[in-house]
Structure 1
Amino acid sequence: MTEQRQDAVRDPGQDAVERAWAELVETACRTVRDGLVVGTSGNVSVRVGDTVLVTPSGVPYDRLTAKDAVGVDLQGRQLIGDLSPTSELPMHLAIYRNTAAGAVVHTHAVHATAVSMLVPELPAVHYMTGILGGPARVAPYALYGTEELAENMLHALRDRTGCLLQNHGTVTYGDSLSQAYDRTAQLEWMSRLWLTASSLPAHTPTLLSPVQLREAEERLRGYGQRRD
């Protein structure tokens, strides 16, 4: 990485921040429209240079405007806005500090949360498991907004881009908001698929083998990314 590029990453400019905030708000609103959260539950963040833009605490997403932007640094110090960041900020920052994530989406999706109460990981029921790097693990329960929850989540995310939070919800990350959101939607869909198949008495759902899953992961690399 050149020195010029490093400077650009550290100081993305006001226009970039405004564009990223607008996309963040739209993504947050989409989680409500798609039934992945209720009210102000769940949260969304995006990294712009060394600033993490994140949804504020307790504000309905459809009421957010440009003046409501909230941004923090990687240590959680507030850089932008007067509203309080989401209480789940420790989870978001833990991901940014330990991965190359560009965006994070956290939801309380119904089917995925149900799965988190039943099994230690969502089995490989579909080849789209590959976009997460393998079966989604379940992070042990911890009180929301705590460092303990963030630590449990990081263990579950090892070599993965998404996980379940026991009795809580989902977390996914990606290079962009659209990629992180797509992974969330796929995780919820696969959770619903597994619950549906598992509900039939005296039947056990067939699962993909490790070889089949590796083949899918190879083919899914670059899924949803724009070609140059």
Structure 2
Amino acid sequence: MAEQRRDTRDERDAGEDSQGSPEVRGRGVPDDDVARAWDELVATARRTVADGLVVGTSGNVSVRVGDTVLVTPTGVPYDRLTPADATGVDLSGRQVLGTLRPTSELPMHLAIHRTTDARAVVHTHAVHATAVSTLVSELPLIHYMSAALGGPVRVAPYATYGTPELAENMLRALTERTGCLLQNHGTITYGSTLSEAYDRTAQLEWMSHVWLKASAIPGHTPTLLTPTQLEEAAHRLQSYGQRR
């Protein structure tokens, strides 16, 4: 009987209705908003695998809905995630949705959500970006898209994954930036939407790839942009794209 009572409590804590849809009770967040956000989070996580930015479950994704941060659960292949697996915490890290344990990199995600206007965070182990993180303390200005991340992309000093120390190193590297490299580890970016955070990750990996390719040519040194050229690009990027 004790086991049966615990299972019932777990289901209640998970916030699942009879259709298996995630709920966040008492937090001012409509259930359908959470369900849509979870679906988008899962799609983004699967995209990191499809695009080769992570292997297996090595990356993680989060999105904020009200005061709840939905996150990928630790150690679960993304293609197995369903609406009933929705996992969420509050800004203190207390689990408020689901029974699966949140990502081991929760300290990094929460540090960003607590200190910036981020609504979404994407962390990957992208190959080229991770390689760059072992070589330099800052990604050289190989392309003007560095401006889309706020300026030269810094490398956060190494610390063990999932630790407060790593989160602190990351926050320093993210000062006035929307993305950084994590030494001997990978990338992390944030944005106002999952699409924006993901696009910044993809751009960071692409720039890292370009720099590594250019640096590998014997007898040649890549031409880099000057701070002034980057500033000019940043100004033009402010009006890039369609206006609504």
Alignment of 1:127-138 (within 5 A): 127-138=144-155
Does residue 20 of structure 1 match 2:37?
yes
Gaps of 5+ in 1: 1-9
The structure having more radius of gyration, on CA atoms, is 2
1:223/1:98 Cα in 2 relative to 1: closer, same or farther (>3 Å)?
farther
Alignment length (residue pairs): 218
TM-score by structure 2 length? Answer: 0.87
1:222/1:91 Cα in 2 relative to 1: closer, same or farther (>3 Å)?
farther
Q: Percent identity?
A: 75
Corresponding position of 2:127:
110
Cα distance in structure 1, aligned partners of 2:147 and 2:131: 21
Give CA-to-partner distance per residue, 1:41-87, whole Å, 9 cap, x none: 01000000110000000000010000000000000000100000000
Corresponding position of 2:237:
220
Does residue 83 of structure 1 match 2:100?
yes
Does residue 203 of structure 1 match 2:214?
no
Match of 1:100, as an amino acid?
Answer: D
1:137/1:40 Cα in 2 relative to 1: closer, same or farther (>3 Å)?
same
Cα distance in structure 2, aligned partners of 1:98 and 1:40: 26
Cα distance in structure 1, aligned partners of 2:101 and 2:243: 38
Does residue 11 of structure 1 match 2:28?
yes
C-alpha deviation, 1:222, in angstroms: 6.2
Question: In the alignment, which of 30, 40, 58 is matched to residue 41 of structure 1?
Answer: 58
C-alpha deviation, 1:201, in angstroms: 1.5
Corresponding position of 1:176:
193
Cα distance in structure 1, aligned partners of 2:74 and 2:195: 22
Question: In the alignment, which of 148, 151, 155 is matched to residue 172 of structure 2?
Answer: 155
C-alpha deviation, 1:223, in angstroms: 5.2
Cα distance in structure 1, aligned partners of 2:157 and 2:59: 18
Cα distance in structure 1, aligned partners of 2:224 and 2:114: 34
SS of the residue 2:69 aligns to:
strand
Does residue 67 of structure 1 match 2:84?
yes
Cα distance in structure 2, aligned partners of 1:158 and 1:181: 19
Does residue 188 of structure 1 match 2:221?
no
C-alpha deviation, 1:221, in angstroms: 2.4
Corresponding position of 1:6:
none
Gaps of 5+ in 2: 1-26
SS of the residue 1:163 aligns to:
strand
Cα distance in structure 2, aligned partners of 1:189 and 1:19: 29
Match of 1:27, as an amino acid?
Answer: T
Cα distance in structure 1, aligned partners of 2:127 and 2:213: 13
Question: In the alignment, which of 122, 137, 140 is matched to residue 157 of structure 2?
Answer: 140
Give CA-to-partner distance per residue, 1:92-122, whole Å, 9 cap, x none: 0000111000100000000000000000010
Cα distance in structure 2, aligned partners of 1:39 and 1:219: 38
C-alpha deviation, 1:227, in angstroms: 3.3
More off after superposition, 21-30 vs 214-223: 214-223
Cα distance in structure 2, aligned partners of 1:48 and 1:150: 21
SS of the residue 1:95 aligns to:
helix
Corresponding position of 1:123:
140
TM-score by structure 1 length? Answer: 0.93
